[in-house]
Amino acid sequence: AQSVSQHNHHVILSEAASLELGCNYSYGGTVNLFWYVQYPGQHLQLLLKYFSGDPLVKGIKGFEAEFIKSKFSFNLRKPSVQWSDTAEYFCAVNALRDDKIIFGKGTRLHILP
Amino acid sequence: KAGVTQTPRYLIKTRGQQVTLSCSPISGHRSVSWYQQTPGQGLQFLFEYFSETQRNKGNFPGRFSGRQFSNSRSEMNVSTLELGDSALYLCASSPSGSYNEQFFGPGTRLTVL
């Protein structure tokens, strides 16, 4: 069965630290990939997406993600986090052949001021 | 442009009852998807509607159903409620479907007693 794994359930960092959140999926076909973010008290919103082309994609607020097809991974990165990045982050995979979308269980990121 | 709206925001029901949740997408968006969010399972895809037709369905029992109207508004119905149906139900709209650029609503918090 298709699945999406976010290995870190809860991450605590200090401001200015570098961030990398892992996302791995199990699906052998063509995929579209997404990272969503949910800030406290706000709706889920799209952070970035990958459909094709350059495997390094840039999103809002200085986030980027790299698609490594051989590793079935789409890790989210930010070189220097801010207190305002405190949120829950969700990775999602859309398997194109059957047009399903599967979300990871989320990673809660807490940035210490 | 107004965002995705969901009504009601909070709902308390008892086991065995049924419930109908409503979602109004962003104007011009023809695709509406529904998700169930729980602490243990994260976000799980329920179904997607596009131009009044159900295009895709997740792995939920037949007690969960939905429909979409000609103005793209969508409703989700859950019959014979169970305790395990307690969750946040999210609606997302998209201009063209295929989970591209989904805009999420605030959700309806359903509690089943």
Whether A49 and B100 lie within 8 Å, measured CB to CB? yes
Q: Kindly determine whether residue A44 and residue B55, on different chains, have CB atoms separated by under 8 Å.
A: no
The answer to whether residues A113 and A83 touch, using CB atoms and an 8 Å cutoff, is yes
Q: How many other C-beta atoms can be found within 10 angstroms of the C-beta atom of residue B15?
A: 11
CB of B98 within 8 Å of a chain A CB? The answer is yes
Provide the residue-wise pLDDT of chain A in tens; the chain has 113 residues: 789 999 889 999 999 999 999 999 998 888 999 999 999 989 999 999 999 999 999 999 999 999 999 999 999 999 999 999 999 999 999 988 877 889 999 999 999 98
